[in-house]
Amino acid sequence: MKSRLRNMIDLPLPSHEGWGRGRRPVINVSWHDAKDYAAWLSTETGKRYRLPTESEWEYAARSGAKQEVWAGTSQKSEIEKYAVSANNSDTRTAEVGTKRANGFQLHDLSGNVWEWVEDCWHDNYLQAPADGLAWMEANNGNCALRVLRGGSWSNKPVNLRASFRYRFNADFRNDLIGFCLVQDLP
């Protein structure tokens, strides 16, 4: 792992599908890529970065409000103001932060790209941790599959809901998937 982190700067960048980089979200990254990047960034900066837990991601998307259906709104008529979806994406990602922020001033939690979170896949929330920690192997967790949240530029609003979850193999990459990181404060 250390040698991979030391050489991460020399690794080829993931494909951006010809859409450009700049302020667009990273795409074509696996869960392992996201974890490696968080570890590398932590080493480079001396600060701790990591993938959010599924619980943290949903809390942030809803701005702490249980009734918020999408990140920023509960009104379907307003979703295009807050999210990049199949309805307004021009079949590609958009620059980050071009839509309205939610109540926590966070952008792009609904739509643009699916975001990897730390947790292993569970079919439901029965016996899920109540403390916000990542849910790993306990209670039949499948860690070969990892959880994705938020929906992407190719999804309809129903799949962008803050409660909607999906899963893929931890090695899977495509142009619908990216990640966001959280920084642990001292």
pLDDT value at 10 more than 80 = no
Identify the sign of the CA torsion 88, 92, 96, 98.
negative
Mean pLDDT, all residues of the chain: 93
Specify the DSSP class assigned to residue 58.
H
Evaluate whether 85 touches 77 at the Cβ level (below 8 Å): no
Q: How much is the average pLDDT of 135-159?
A: 95
142-176: burial string, b at 16+ Cβ within 10 Å, e else: eeebbbbbbbbbbbebebbbbebbbbbebebbebb
The CA–CA distances, whole Å, from 174 to 28, 96, 98, 108 equal 4, 18, 22, 18
Q: How much is the average pLDDT of 50-68?
A: 94
**Band of residue 11 on the pLDDT scale cut at 50, 70, 90:** confident
- Rounded CA-CA distance 119/55 in Å is 9
What pLDDT, on the 0 to 100 scale, is given for residue 67? 84
What pLDDT, on the 0 to 100 scale, is given for residue 7? 57
Q: How much is the average pLDDT of 181-185?
A: 96
Evaluate whether 83 touches 157 at the Cβ level (below 8 Å): yes
User: What whole-number percentage of the chain has pLDDT above 70?
Assistant: 95
**Band of residue 6 on the pLDDT scale cut at 50, 70, 90:** low
Evaluate whether 82 touches 110 at the Cβ level (below 8 Å): yes
- CATH fold label, 52-124+133-176: paralog of FGE (formylglycine-generating enzyme) (3.90.1580)
| C-alpha closest to that of 97 among 89, 106, 88 | 106
Written as six digits, the tokens of 158 are 């129903």
Beta bridge partners of 166: 148
pLDDT digits (tens, 9 = 90+) for 12-57: 889 899 898 999 999 999 999 999 999 999 999 999 999 999 999 9
The CA–CA distances, whole Å, from 8 to 33, 36, 37 equal 10, 8, 8
Evaluate whether 179 touches 115 at the Cβ level (below 8 Å): yes
Name the pairing type of β-strands 114-121 and 177-179.
parallel
**Selected residue with higher pLDDT from 86 and 138:** 86
**Band of residue 8 on the pLDDT scale cut at 50, 70, 90:** low
